[in-house]
């Protein structure tokens, strides 16, 4: 049988200052009824309709030098008039989104996801794809190179030229960076791993490579090696401030703050560097969990609409659990630091009244319209399938370990998911994770999962952590910046906040603005709303700098006169202050745990 002709793409940042990529797509044998083309409405891994077609500035088609009429069928689909082919559709695409989800281009660098730039040739998605990546014209770009996990098909290493993908699904799963990035490489069980680092930064690349290698090896150990790709690339963009990551089958795009990266000559690991390693760890774990062990609802992805699943807790929550657990298992976090991280995750959940409104299954299903489109009411209305999902994974792990005397764990469930679904490329049914967990561990988990995923009841964290000799302590926040994870500072306990407004505030240009008003709290009861700007408490000027001392003088039950602006209208309200909620969690290793608890703890933290 003659192989089908590939779909040929060509992309060039023709005028970087105008932030436009020029992209052409050529089909040798277009649909005789009129070939249709479309851009995806979303990018896998980020569950929100983004309508990338809105960045198409112009589009036209031609065949053998003659223009072919193009009709637009809906917001992201075009149909070319019937022609014999070859048919080329060319588009100019605006690229000014400096996130891991879109495309960005200026004279300093270019970055794109295939979902932003490559038209899908409808009906020919299975065809092999070739893409020619061209440098911007002009000598000032002579030093630009290319970093991507796309397979080279003529291009030299890091060079412009031709790359290839097996099909459209693969083509859009290898983001591309071009510019003058820094570069470092390491190997994991013989598989080359690379870091391409963009942006103005001073990073200790050798240390970064050393630490990332440990993280990658840890995940490979968990699933059983070798790594499931031929090559892996971390595409990192360092900015003044930024945080985000998106997983792909053989790479990840990360955005971080340049201060998160390890600085030359510094050996200590800062909190923010550990956060960066946690992000890299998260995305690398996704190489298995969600890129290969996939929900049935994503096999294949429907790129023109929402893809509903109630199981994002398993793909994002379990991944969020293992991202930091891997750091402690490979020695990049101490067990005490890990407890601090867990304490903060529990604190975040306790500070989310929406955990009483939305179940984890609902959070997952509605990710498209809720988690990814949060507004001022979000804390009251929703719960995160990342945050709560990671704690469900923790509970499931500890439950299995304690019921089986440490012979089974969530690690076994992950390996089984990899064997049964991931390696074979079969989608995981909606109840697949729960059923396999029971099957592999022999532990009845149905009532646990019903409670954790399909009810808003609290998780049994205290009893399960006790099984590994960890005590849970819950207290009031000491200040607005208290994220939990640490015990109350002695002495400062007297300075601890004694009252709460029941609202979150932010410094917006020097104004003290309410960003969120919590359900059933004092601010809501008094009639304050998100967006209001507080200007005075009991006749004294309130600012971001004075609010804490002003509240510090008051006691629960006191009524305080509040002046605030809503839009340009002054309000005067009476707020009856409440005692602060016990919403700040700290975990501690028991001094003398039982031998059995100590054994379970070792298995948990050491991954045995």
What span, in angstroms and rounded, lies between the C-alpha atoms of 236 and 269? 19
Residue closer to Zn ion, measured from CB, 155 or 255: 255
To Zn ion, the closest distance from the beta carbon of 248 in angstroms equals 12
Of residues 314 through 333, those in contact with Zn ion by CB under 5 A are 316
Q: What tokens does 451 get?
A: 């409670």
What span, in angstroms and rounded, lies between the C-alpha atoms of 308 and 369? 11
Cβ burial, residue 496 (10 Å; 0-12/13-18/19+): middle
Considering only 312-320, 474-482, 532-540, 565-573, which stretch makes contact with Zn ion by CB under 5 A?
A: 312-320
To Zn ion, the closest distance from the beta carbon of 247 in angstroms equals 6
Residue closer to Zn ion, measured from CB, 283 or 478: 283
Residue 412: helix, strand or coil by DSSP? helix
Give the containing element (helix H, strand E) for 93: strand 87-94
What span, in angstroms and rounded, lies between the C-alpha atoms of 132 and 152? 10
Residue closer to Zn ion, measured from CB, 170 or 247: 247
To Zn ion, the closest distance from the beta carbon of 45 in angstroms equals 7
To Zn ion, the closest distance from the beta carbon of 302 in angstroms equals 20
Considering only 24-32, 310-318, 424-432, 534-542, which stretch makes contact with Zn ion by CB under 5 A?
A: 310-318
Q: What tokens does 146 get?
A: 């290319």
Count of residues making up the chain: 608
Of residues 19 through 78, those in contact with Zn ion by CB under 5 A are none
To Zn ion, the closest distance from the beta carbon of 387 in angstroms equals 12
CB 141 within 8 A of CB 131: no
To Zn ion, the closest distance from the beta carbon of 312 in angstroms equals 9
Residue closer to Zn ion, measured from CB, 169 or 316: 316
To Zn ion, the closest distance from the beta carbon of 254 in angstroms equals 12
* Segments of 290-417 assigned E as strands: none
- Terminal C-alpha separation, the chain: 50
What span, in angstroms and rounded, lies between the C-alpha atoms of 497 and 480? 9
What span, in angstroms and rounded, lies between the C-alpha atoms of 486 and 195? 34
Residue closer to Zn ion, measured from CB, 389 or 603: 389
To Zn ion, the closest distance from the beta carbon of 386 in angstroms equals 7
Residue closer to Zn ion, measured from CB, 254 or 330: 254
Closest by Cα among 601, 608, 603 to 336: 601
Residue closer to Zn ion, measured from CB, 144 or 418: 418
Residue closer to Zn ion, measured from CB, 260 or 316: 316
Q: In degrees, to the nearest 5, what angle opens at C-alpha 526 toward C-alphas 524 and 529?
A: 45
CB 215 within 8 A of CB 332: yes
Considering only 129-137, 164-172, 250-258, 313-321, which stretch makes contact with Zn ion by CB under 5 A?
A: 313-321
Residue reference for tokens 């002054």: 570
Binders of Zn ion: how many residues, by CB under 5 A? Answer: 1
Considering only 299-307, 309-317, 342-350, 457-465, which stretch makes contact with Zn ion by CB under 5 A?
A: 309-317
To Zn ion, the closest distance from the beta carbon of 282 in angstroms equals 5
Which residues lie closer than 8 Å to 128 by C-beta, 6 or more apart? Answer: 3, 4, 6, 7, 164, 165, 166, 167
Residue closer to Zn ion, measured from CB, 130 or 323: 323
Which residues lie closer than 8 Å to 212 by C-beta, 6 or more apart? Answer: 186, 193, 195, 234, 277, 280
Phi then psi dihedrals of residue 592, to 5 deg: -125, 80
Residue closer to Zn ion, measured from CB, 79 or 282: 282
To Zn ion, the closest distance from the beta carbon of 277 in angstroms equals 15
What span, in angstroms and rounded, lies between the C-alpha atoms of 505 and 513? 5
To Zn ion, the closest distance from the beta carbon of 246 in angstroms equals 8
CB 231 within 8 A of CB 250: yes
- What is the pairing mode between strands 7-15 and 129-133? parallel
Considering only 159-167, 311-319, 361-369, 568-576, which stretch makes contact with Zn ion by CB under 5 A?
A: 311-319
Phi then psi dihedrals of residue 208, to 5 deg: -60, -45
To Zn ion, the closest distance from the beta carbon of 314 in angstroms equals 12
To Zn ion, the closest distance from the beta carbon of 320 in angstroms equals 7
Residue 159: helix, strand or coil by DSSP? coil
Site string for Zn ion, 507-546 (x = CB under 5 A): ----------------------------------------
DSSP string, 519-538: TTSHHHHHT--TT-EEEEET
Q: What tokens does 491 get?
A: 């002495």
Instruction: Tell me the C-alpha to C-alpha distance, in Å, between residue 43 and each of 51, 112, 298, 358, 608.
Output: 9, 12, 12, 25, 36
Q: What is the dihedral of CA 173, 302, 118, 153, to 10 degrees?
A: 40
For residue 107, count other CB atoms closer than 10 A to its CB.
15
Residue closer to Zn ion, measured from CB, 78 or 421: 421
To Zn ion, the closest distance from the beta carbon of 39 in angstroms equals 23
Which residue's C-beta sits nearest to Zn ion? Answer: 316
Closest by Cα among 254, 252, 256, 255 to 286: 252
Residue closer to Zn ion, measured from CB, 316 or 324: 316
Phi then psi dihedrals of residue 290, to 5 deg: 120, -30
Residue closer to Zn ion, measured from CB, 317 or 603: 317
Residue closer to Zn ion, measured from CB, 316 or 434: 316
Residue closer to Zn ion, measured from CB, 314 or 467: 314
To Zn ion, the closest distance from the beta carbon of 458 in angstroms equals 24
What are the residues binding Zn ion (CB under 5 A)? 316
């Amino acid at each position: 049988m003659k192989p089908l002709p590939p779909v040929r793409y060509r992309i060039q940042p023709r005028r970087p200052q105008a932030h436009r990529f020029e992209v052409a797509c050529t089909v040798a044998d277009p649909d005789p009824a009129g070939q249709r083309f479309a851009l995806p409405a979303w990018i896998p891994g980020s569950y929100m309709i983004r309508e990338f077609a809105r960045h198409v500035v112009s589009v036209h088609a031609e065949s053998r030098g003659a223009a072919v009429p193009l009709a637009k069928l809906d917001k992201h689909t075009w149909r070319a008039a019937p022609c014999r082919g070859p048919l080329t559709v060319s588009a100019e695409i605006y690229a000014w989104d400096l996130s891991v989800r879109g495309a960005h281009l200026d004279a300093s660098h270019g970055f794109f996801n295939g979902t932003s730039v490559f038209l899908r040739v409808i009906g020919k998605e299975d065809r092999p794809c070739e893409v020619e990546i061209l440098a911007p014209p002009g000598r000032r770009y002579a030093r630009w190179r290319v970093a991507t996990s796309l397979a080279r098909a003529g291009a030299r290493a890091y060079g412009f030229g031709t790359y290839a993908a097996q099909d459209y699904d693969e083509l859009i799963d290898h983001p591309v960076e071009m510019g003058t990035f820094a570069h470092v490489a390491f190997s994991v069980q013989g598989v080359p791993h690379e870091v391409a680092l963009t942006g103005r930064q001073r990073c200790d690349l050798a240390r970064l490579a050393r630490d990332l290698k440990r993280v990658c090896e840890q995940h490979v150990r968990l699933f059983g090696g070798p790594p499931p790709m031929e090559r892996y690339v971390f595409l990192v963009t360092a900015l003044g401030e930024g945080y985000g990551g998106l997983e792909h089958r053989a790479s990840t795009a990360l955005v971080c703050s340049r201060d998160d990266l390890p600085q030359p000559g510094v050996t200590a690991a800062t909190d923010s560097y550990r956060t960066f390693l946690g992000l890299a760890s998260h995305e690398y774990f996704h190489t298995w969990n969600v890129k290969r062990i996939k929900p049935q609802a994503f096999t294949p992805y429907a790129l023109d609409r929402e893809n509903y699943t109630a199981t994002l807790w398993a793909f994002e929550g379990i991944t969020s659990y293992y991202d930091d657990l891997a750091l402690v298992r490979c020695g990049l976090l101490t067990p005490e630091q890990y407890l601090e991280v867990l304490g903060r995750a529990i604190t975040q959940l306790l500070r989310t009244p929406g955990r009483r409104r939305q179940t984890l299954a609902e959070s997952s299903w509605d990710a498209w319209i809720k988690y990814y489109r949060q507004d001022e009411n979000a804390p009251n209305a929703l719960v995160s399938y990342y945050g709560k999902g990671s704690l469900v994974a923790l509970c499931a792990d500890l439950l299995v370990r304690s019921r089986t005397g440490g012979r089974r764990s969530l690690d076994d469930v992950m390996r089984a998911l990899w064997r049964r679904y991931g390696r074979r490329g079969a989608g995981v049914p909606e109840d697949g994770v729960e059923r396999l967990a029971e099957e592999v561990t022999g532990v009845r988990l149905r009532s646990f999962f019903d409670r954790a995923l399909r009810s808003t009841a609290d998780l049994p964290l205290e009893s399960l952590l006790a099984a590994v000799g960890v005590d849970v302590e819950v207290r009031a926040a000491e200040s607005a910046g208290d994220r939990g994870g640490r015990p109350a500072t002695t002495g400062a306990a007297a300075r601890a906040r004694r009252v709460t407004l029941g609202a979150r505030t932010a410094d917006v240009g020097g104004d003290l603005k309410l960003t969120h008003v919590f359900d059933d709290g004092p601010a809501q009861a008094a009639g304050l709303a998100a967006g209001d700007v507080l200007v005075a408490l009991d006749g004294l000027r309130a600012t971001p700098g004075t609010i804490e001392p002003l509240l510090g003088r008051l006691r629960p039950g006191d009524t305080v006169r509040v002046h605030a602006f809503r839009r340009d209208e002054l309000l005067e309200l009476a707020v009856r202050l409440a005692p602060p909620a016990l919403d700040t969690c700290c975990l501690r290793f028991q001094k003398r745990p039982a031998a059995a608890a100590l054994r379970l703890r070792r298995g948990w933290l050491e991954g045995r």
